[in-house]
Amino acid sequence: MSGSLLEVNGISKRFGGLQAVKKLSFNVNEGEILGLLGPNGAGKTTAFNMIAGFHKPDEGTIKLGGHNIAGSKPWEVCRAGIGRTFQLSKPFGDLTVVENLMVGGFSRSSDRKRIRAAAEEIAAFLGLERKGDTEAHNLTAFDRRKLELGRALSTQPRLLLMDEVVAGATPNEASEMVELVKKVRARGVSVLIVEHVMKVIMALSDRVIVLDYGSLIADGKPKDVVTSPEVLKAYFGERYVQART
């Protein structure tokens, strides 16, 4: 890993009387897989949405490669080099696997032949090469999740935001997705991942950050963060921490 690719500095977001994110700062390094943890309502999705351009921060900056993208539109963020997967996979059901993957490619080029070749390569990378001509609505839930990952990769991101990639997956499918994410990093793509399955976070992340009530409460190696008293308190409450001590 080298220097910072993404630098989030003091971003905040309020919805009416709810302070969803408060002066959040962190970075993602080149070549890093950074895990983002936090209990329900901690502000994880709001932070993702600000980075991806779905929400404009009330304050603060978001720099990708040194350029401030805070407040940019989602398609501008995509072209800048950030891809995103969603917790609920919603491919174009009547399009084939390859056609779905081509959709992302048009954000970079209008050369249909080149885009199709790239889509076929990504299908093979995902293990979906034999299903390239299958319409998306005929895929299993896990294959749709892989297709969701592929659509993001087809935009040629430098940074990939991944939201609960193993939700609903079997243990074998979760293990397969872990290996896929590692291969994504090997392609030169940095990863910021939200995940509630601790085994997945521990297996994937070089570093972990934790949010609670919109604020950063921990940043460090996974094994250190998950045993932090402040993190345990956020997840399990004060009584649990007192019982451990």
Name which residue leads in pLDDT, 239 or 4: 4
Across 87-101, b (16+ Cβ under 10 Å) vs e yields eebebeeeebbbbbb
Q: What CATH number has the domain bearing residue 157?
A: 3.40.50.300
Domain count, the chain: 1
* Residue 174 is assigned to a structural domain of this protein: yes
Angle between helices 97-105 and 112-125 (to 10 degrees): 120
Percent of the residues in the chain that have a pLDDT greater than 70, as a whole number? 96
With bands split at pLDDT 50, 70 and 90, how would you rate the model's confidence at 153? very high
Name which residue leads in pLDDT, 203 or 22: 22
pLDDT value at position 51?
98
* Residue 143 is assigned to a structural domain of this protein: no
What pTM does this model have?
Answer: 0.92
User: Under a CB-based contact definition with an 8 Å cutoff, are residues 164 and 70 in contact?
Assistant: no
* Residue 128 is assigned to a structural domain of this protein: no
* CA dist., res. 228 & res. 217, Å (int): 10
Highest mean pLDDT among 1-10, 176-185, 189-198, 224-233: 176-185
From 196, 199, 200, select the one nearest 210 (Cα to Cα).
196
* Residue 113 is assigned to a structural domain of this protein: no
* Residue 191 is assigned to a structural domain of this protein: yes
* Residue 70 is assigned to a structural domain of this protein: yes
Tokens of 186: 């090997």
Residue 245 pLDDT > 80, yes or no? no
Cross-strand partners of 63? 7, 68
pLDDT value at position 238?
67
Mean pLDDT of the chain: 93
Q: Are strands 82-84 and 215-220 parallel, antiparallel or unpaired?
A: unpaired
pLDDT value at position 88?
85
* Residue 132 is assigned to a structural domain of this protein: no
* CA dist., res. 60 & res. 111, Å (int): 38
